[in-house]
Amino acid sequence: MRATFLGHACFLIEAEGKKVIIDPFLSGNPQAAMKPEEVEVDAVLVTHGHGDHLGDAIDIAKATEALVVAPYELAVYCERRGVRAHPMQIGGARQFPFGWVKLTPAWHGSAVINDTIEYTGNPCGFVLRAGGKTLYHAGDTGLFGDMELIGKREKIDLACLPIGDNFVMGPEDAAYAVELLKPRMVVPMHYNTFELICQDPEEFAKLVGDKAKCRILRPGEGLDV
Ligand code: NI
Ligand code: MN
């Protein structure tokens, strides 16, 4: 499995010839390492309806005929905008041609916010198994004790954890999440995109210490999991 950080909470995952993008916020993302029209994927995983996660999901799915996988209400929202979407809910898992996906809880909100606010169910995180490796993308969330359960149930190779604080975990809580999840590797995300979520990822790495291998990725940079 290869995981490439595309900025904010967006990752491109490649395994066994299949490609998946998670939370493709590229247009309007000052960190974006790829243009939405350059994305060629089999599936688009979306954790929740906020603009910095749903992002370009619908346009990418339309252009590539990729399958959108999202919590039920958000999947229906996408489907009604002309894409193929597969609804799931927290705790449910499914084997897809591109990998095995399970939805995990996330303590956050989920709505598409324009002139109006359309609520899109509960937000989620994803466990993705592909190419013999297991990735956990926490989505936007605060720290919660059931991360320990996720760590017990899944042998996580790579955890992508938000550290931006304010809307999500800050570095200290994210480092504690590493203790609960026990991943082999961890990559911080959801920081420094905007003023409000400025954090020093090196501080996070120090807090993680030897609990996991912490990799700080610049947008566009990838790693072999
Ligand atoms: Ni959010
Ligand atoms: Mn967010």
CB 188 within 8 A of CB 161: yes
How many angstroms does the Cα of residue 24 sit away from the middle of ligand 1?
13
How many angstroms does the Cα of residue 162 sit away from the middle of ligand 1?
11
What is the domain partition of the chain in residue ranges?
A: 2-217
How many angstroms does the Cα of residue 112 sit away from the middle of ligand 1?
10
Name the burial class of residue 138, with classes exposed (0-12), middle (13-18) and buried (19+) by CB atoms within 10 angstroms of its CB: buried
Q: Percent of the chain beyond pLDDT 90?
A: 100
Question: Which ligand is closest to the CA of 120, given by its number?
Answer: 1
Per residue in 86-138, pLDDT tens? Answer: 999 999 999 999 999 999 999 999 999 999 999 999 999 999 999 999 999 99
How many angstroms does the Cα of residue 190 sit away from the middle of ligand 2?
7
Question: Which ligand is closest to the CA of 190, given by its number?
Answer: 2
How many angstroms does the Cα of residue 66 sit away from the middle of ligand 2?
22
pLDDT number for residue 167: 98
How many angstroms does the Cα of residue 165 sit away from the middle of ligand 2?
10
pLDDT confidence bin for 68, thresholds 50/70/90: very high
Backbone angle region of 137, left / alpha / beta, with phi > 0 → left and psi within -120 to 50 → alpha:
beta
Name the CATH superfamily for 2-217: Ribonuclease Z/Hydroxyacylglutathione hydrolase-like (3.60.15.10)
Gap between the Cα atoms of 84 and 92, Å rounded:
19
How many angstroms does the Cα of residue 171 sit away from the middle of ligand 2?
15
- Mean pLDDT of the 171-193 span: 98
pLDDT number for residue 182: 98
Gap between the Cα atoms of 39 and 20, Å rounded:
10
How many angstroms does the Cα of residue 197 sit away from the middle of ligand 2?
10
- Which stretches of 131-224 are assigned E, i.e. beta strand? 133-137, 158-162, 185-189, 213-214, 222-224
How many angstroms does the Cα of residue 18 sit away from the middle of ligand 2?
26
pLDDT number for residue 40: 98
- Mean pLDDT of the 63-86 span: 98
